[in-house]
């Protein structure tokens, strides 16, 4: 297949204020996307140089993980200055160019805002450390007296998502411990802000306007469900007393903790929504919301709150027909109740890449990555047919696997270091992506010493290698996005379930122009014949294991191999 794009659709941003209701958004992890200056770390000019690739891929928007000034203790989610760019990643001029050049190619730009915590290098925290206890500078963060006679114990039992206690003792400028402690739900260098303080509210409203005024189209909100803590900061009755099972954000049974998904957090988003609505077109938000069920999720999408939020519940359903269908139903019902479109996602910079996650594991514990890729492609194609918007994570369109054998001394994830090397799941999906060539740095930059080392077996996974190869994962994504954009049935709208045989899940999306799309995923391993009434007009499939076969006594019907998805055009 030759690379093509629809020039009309790509030359200007979709002017509709509702673009986010059906958008395909591509997540860029900027340090790992493209390196323009040969320091082994991706940067904004590198991203600008690759915008044509993204426009050709057919995405409607890009979301870029943080590029603010930061000590990079947590990949930039530790912000030292919300109004400046980290010099290793670029300059304000580069960001202005990024916005202009993206818009010129028809793509919106979404930044990442980190309101739960700042970096400990942020001037506010530095001011706290330099000032007397009880001074106003202390009120911007969650600070409490310690427990015990000498106040030498943390104020409560909350743990850090990155392991260990969620509290650290504040020390005087001379290094003496005080009886006061600050909360950090993440790394010690990420103190939690106190959202009871109006000054924090005012500061973030101002930061939003600062970027909206520069033409940014929206924000993904980091840890959107965590800003408000339960009054009194009560101890939490952890379901897993042992240290190993304390991943406080990604575990379902911890979603009820007194520091997640508190009702008060919604007041903040009402306030933010009114800021976004001051703009023409209105700016948009997408929340990072780890919540226990679709009902709690949909609360964030009430009409005066966030536009969308990540639906991690669907992602967690995994490769399981019943769980997928149930989650889709619950998501649609709960979102419909608040008038919001659902959002779907399968991978991001915090999670094991879905090719590896979905790979079956054999008795020896080895993952079958070929089947993992087959499943990942099928899951992506099927998910792209669901109503609403979809987030893609850089490199998934190439079929990249998780890098599971990074050397210990290369690892950067604070969770790895704080867990004593037992929890290291987040570096393996952040390895710089391969563009071209047969060896590192695969066209990522000019230096093969990339900030996380690339594997030596990625030559077949480069953009150059996959472009134009009809069997490649990249061409499947490009075809699906082209069809999705051109079809009135896909994106926002309704869904009808179809009765399907075996491990098949199938649905029909009604088109406004008389052409529906039937989307089918076969989660089993055996070949399945689909009902003849679904037709044989194949639009795209996730593997070539599909064929229209005639029957003895009726019209032809599609036969679909195991772990395969396809879309059919159907006349309504």
d(CA 170, CA 192): 13
Nearest to 182 by CA among 230, 226, 222, 146: 146
350 sits near ligand GLC (criterion: CB under 6 A): yes
Instruction: Tell the smallest beta-carbon distance from residue 73 to ligand GLC (Å).
Output: 10
3-state SS string over 313-369? HHHHHCCCHHHHHHHHHHHHHHHHHHCCCCEEECCCCCCCCHHHHCCCECCCCCECH
Instruction: Tell the smallest beta-carbon distance from residue 355 to ligand GLC (Å).
Output: 20
Considering the candidates 14, 112, 222, 563, report the single residue annotated as catalytic.
Answer: 222
Tokens of 447: 């230096």
Which residues in the 60-99 window bind ligand GLC by CB under 6 A? 74, 77
Query: Pairing state of beta strands 557-560 and 389-393?
Result: unpaired
Asked if 356 contacts 402 with a C-beta cutoff of 8 angstroms, the reply is yes
For ligand GLC, give the closer residue by CB, 296 or 377. Answer: 296
Count helices and strands in the chain by DSSP H and E runs: 15, 21
For ligand GLC, give the closer residue by CB, 186 or 314. Answer: 186
Tokens of 489: 């049935």
Which residues in the 451-470 window bind ligand GLC by CB under 6 A? none
**Any catalytic annotation for residue 278?**
yes
Q: Which residue sits closest to ligand GLC, CB atoms considered?
A: 77
Instruction: Tell the smallest beta-carbon distance from residue 506 to ligand GLC (Å).
Output: 33
Considering the candidates 145, 235, 244, 278, report the single residue annotated as catalytic.
Answer: 278
**Any catalytic annotation for residue 78?**
no
Asked if 29 contacts 41 with a C-beta cutoff of 8 angstroms, the reply is no
Contact with ligand GLC (CB under 6 A): which of 35, 56, 86, 222? 222
d(CA 242, CA 110): 38
CA angle at 311 for the pair 322 and 218, rounded to the nearest 5°: 155
d(CA 41, CA 446): 10
For ligand GLC, give the closer residue by CB, 77 or 567. Answer: 77
For ligand GLC, give the closer residue by CB, 58 or 66. Answer: 66
For ligand GLC, give the closer residue by CB, 114 or 284. Answer: 114
Which residues in the 183-212 window bind ligand GLC by CB under 6 A? 186
Tokens of 346: 């399968």
427 sits near ligand GLC (criterion: CB under 6 A): no
Nearest to 296 by CA among 307, 285, 311: 311
Measured between its terminal Cα atoms, the distance across the chain in Å is 29
114 sits near ligand GLC (criterion: CB under 6 A): yes
Instruction: Tell the smallest beta-carbon distance from residue 59 to ligand GLC (Å).
Output: 20
Binding mask 228-267 for ligand GLC (x = CB under 6 A): ----------------------------------------
Q: How many residues bind ligand GLC (CB under 6 A)?
A: 9
Interacting residues toward ligand GLC by CB under 6 A: 74, 77, 114, 186, 222-223, 288, 349-350
Q: What residues are labeled active site?
A: 222, 278
């Amino acid at each position: 297949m030759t690379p093509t794009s629809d020039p009309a659709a790509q030359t200007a941003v979709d002017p509709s204020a509702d673009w986010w209701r059906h958008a395909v958004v591509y997540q860029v992890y900027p340090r790992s996307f493209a390196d323009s200056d040969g320091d082994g770390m991706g940067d904004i000019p590198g991203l600008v140089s690759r915008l044509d690739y993204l426009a050709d891929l057919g995405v409607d928007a890009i979301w870029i993980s943080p590029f603010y000034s930061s000590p990079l203790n947590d990949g930039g989610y530790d912000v030292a200055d919300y109004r400046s760019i980290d010099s290793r990643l670029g300059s304000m001029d580069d960001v202005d160019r990024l916005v202009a050049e993206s818009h010129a190619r028809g793509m919106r730009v979404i930044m990442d805002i980190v309101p739960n915590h700042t970096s400990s290098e942020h001037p506010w925290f530095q001011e706290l450390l330099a000032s007397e206890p009880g001074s106003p500078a202390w009120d911007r963060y969650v600070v409490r007296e310690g427990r015990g006679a000498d106040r030498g114990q943390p104020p409560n039992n909350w743990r850090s998502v990155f392991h260990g206690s969620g509290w650290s003792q504040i020390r005087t400028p001379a290094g003496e411990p005080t009886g006061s402690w600050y909360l950090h739900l993440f790394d010690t260098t990420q103190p939690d802000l106190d959202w009871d303080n109006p000054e924090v509210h005012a500061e973030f409203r101002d930061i939003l306007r600062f970027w909206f005024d520069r033409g940014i189209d929206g924000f993904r909100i980091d840890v959107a469900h965590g800003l408000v803590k339960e009054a009194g900061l009560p101890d939490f009755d952890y379901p897993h007393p042992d240290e190993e099972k304390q991943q406080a954000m990604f575990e379902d049974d911890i979603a009820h903790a007194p520091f997640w998904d508190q009702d008060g957090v919604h007041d903040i988003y009402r306030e933010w929504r009114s800021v976004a609505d001051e703009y023409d077109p209105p700016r948009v938000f997408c929340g990072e919301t780890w919540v226990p069920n679709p009902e709690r999720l949909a609360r964030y999408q009430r009409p005066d709150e966030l536009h969308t939020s990540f639906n991690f519940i669907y992602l967690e359903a995994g490769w399981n027909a019943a769980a997928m269908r149930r989650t889709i139903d619950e998501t649609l019902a709960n979102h419909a109740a608040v008038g919001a479109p659902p959002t779907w996602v399968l991978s991001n910079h915090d999670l094991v890449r879905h090719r590896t996650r979905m790979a079956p594991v054999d008795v020896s514990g080895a993952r079958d990555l070929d089947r993992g890729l087959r499943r990942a492609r099928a899951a992506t194609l099927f998910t792209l047919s669901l109503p609403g918007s979809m987030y893609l994570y850089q490199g998934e369109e190439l079929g990249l696997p998780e890098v599971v054998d990074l050397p210990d001394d290369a690892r950067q994830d604070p969770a790895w270091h704080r867990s004593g090397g037992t929890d290291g799941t987040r570096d393996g999906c952040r390895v710089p992506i391969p563009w071209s060539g047969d060896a590192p740095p695969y066209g990522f930059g000019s230096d093969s010493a990339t900030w996380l080392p690339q594997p030596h077996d990625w030559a077949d996974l480069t953009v150059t290698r996959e472009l134009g190869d009809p069997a490649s994962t990249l061409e499947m994504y490009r075809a699906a996005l082209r069809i999705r954009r051109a079809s009135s049935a896909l994106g926002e709208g309704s869904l009808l379930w179809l009765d399907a045989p075996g491990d098949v899940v199938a649905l029909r999306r009604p088109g406004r122009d008389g052409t529906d799309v039937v989307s089918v995923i076969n989660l089993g391993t055996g070949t399945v014949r689909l009902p003849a009434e679904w037709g044989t007009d194949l639009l795209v499939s996730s593997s070539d294991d599909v064929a229209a076969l005639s029957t003895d006594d009726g019209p032809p019907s599609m036969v679909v191999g195991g772990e395969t998805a396809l879309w059919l055009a159907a006349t309504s």
